[in-house]
Amino acid sequence: MALIITSSGSARNTGPVGGVIATVDRDHCTKCLTCMRLCAYGAISFDGDGIAVVDPTSCQGCGLCVAACPGAALILGHYTREQMLAKIDALLGEPEAIHAG
């Protein structure tokens, strides 16, 4: 859970935001599309080079794509600070302060 303190000083609970998301090792992606087909959250797209890209605001960290990737290109890891803020921004808009709990 994460708690957002708004500019007015009120606290809003964001609900579950998880703490783990998938990331792609570009050097190992074979552009097979398996991850995109499996992801129930629509979190995977492809960049201009055809390499898989995970949207950290949509990924729920379920690990399905990681297990299925034939190239072992997908990795489950904890959010970076920037990824966590991007997810919170997507949920609530610009956060002023964040308190994890």
Looking only at residues 63 through 92 of this chain, which bind ligand SF4 when binding is defined by CB under 6 A? Answer: 63-65, 69-71, 73-74
Sheet containing strand 11-13, strands side by side: 11-13, 2-5, 97-100
> What is the CA 22 to chain-centroid distance, rounded?
7
Q: Kindly identify the residues of this chain, within the stretch 6-65, that bind ligand SF4 according to CB under 6 A.
A: 21-22, 24, 29-35, 38-39, 41, 43-44, 52, 54, 59-65
Residue with tokens 């007015």: 8
> In the complex, which residues of this chain contact ligand SF4 (CB under 6 A)?
21-22, 24, 29-35, 38-39, 41, 43-44, 52, 54, 59-65, 69-71, 73-74
